[in-house]
Amino acid sequence: MGILEGKRILVTGVITDSSIAFHVARLCQEQGATVVLTGYGRLSLVERIAKRLPDAPPVLELDVTDDDHLASLADRIGEHVDGIDGVVHSIGFTPQDALGGNFLNTTWEDVATAMHTSTFSLKALSTAVLPLMRDSGGSIVAMDFDNSVSYPIYDWMGVAKSGLASTARYLARYLGEHDIRVNLVSAGPLRTMAARSIPGFDTLADSWPQRAPLGWDTGDPEPAARAVVALLSDWFPATTGEMVHVDGGFHSTGA
């Protein structure tokens, strides 16, 4: 019996089978969970990728910046499962002008887009599914990137991730009364589709394996996915508002 036996998990952010979210969904199913996916934009692509999972799950359209999508989400999920025990927030977007060393020149409009999609969306998603969780509790896990320091080229996405970490702490405070835990997994850089959209990503990624005490494989999302699954399980019943680093230990080292 797996550590998620009988649980119902909503996973956002599956785009390709190289994404962390895909491997989370796969491991969730292997550990006994029923999975529902969301996708946005190229929904047919997400549906094709979903068929590569052990059991092809339903795929729901979700734009986390669309109030109508959010308002109907609980009802649409309810067509497939009678509640939710866990949610995975693996959503982020930053316009190109907000990345790649353009920090001082980025407009508020681009910053606002980054913050809405990458930061506020965690609160928006959490409250949208709350009707499916408030009676039985559960776990919300969001994907982060270490934001205790600045990094080259990451720019306003780094600021958005700092906001995501703070949002998770406040959600942990306010959702605790519903027995809902809210935690973050901070993964090292991975060569996903999202990473390929960051100008100069190799500048950040190439130094990671050398600096991380345990080393780091930028092509292997499974360690991060395993941490997410562990936090979705009942093995962390009193942990909330926490950030778990899955980065080979890079965050703990100096120059």
44 is in an annotated binding site: no
């969904």: which residue's tokens?
Answer: 25
Asked whether residue 63 is marked as a ligand-binding residue, the answer is yes
Verify whether residue 161 is a known catalytic residue.
yes
Catalytic annotation present for 7: no
Q: Is 228 annotated as a binding residue?
A: no
Q: Going by DSSP bridges, is the β-strand pair 86-89/138-144 parallel, antiparallel, or unpaired?
A: parallel
Question: Both tokens of residue 217?
Answer: 């494989």
What is residue 55's DSSP assignment?
A: S
Is residue 14 annotated as involved in ligand binding?
no
**List of residues 6+ apart from 166 with CB closer than 8 A:** none
Q: Is 198 annotated as a binding residue?
A: no
Nearest to 138 by CA among 1, 2, 30, 4: 4
Distance (Å) of CA 171 to CA 34, 122, 184 = 25, 9, 12
| Burial readout 164-196 (b: 16 or more C-beta within 10 A, e: otherwise) | bbebbeebbeebeeeebbbbbbbbbbbbbebbe
Given 40, 123, 154, 170, the catalytic residue:
154
Q: Among 123, 161, 170, 174, which one carries the catalytic annotation? A: 161
91 marked as part of a ligand binding site: yes
Q: Is 67 assigned to a binding site?
A: no
Annotated binding site for NAD(+): 13, 19-20, 63-64, 91, 161
- Known catalytic residues are 154, 161
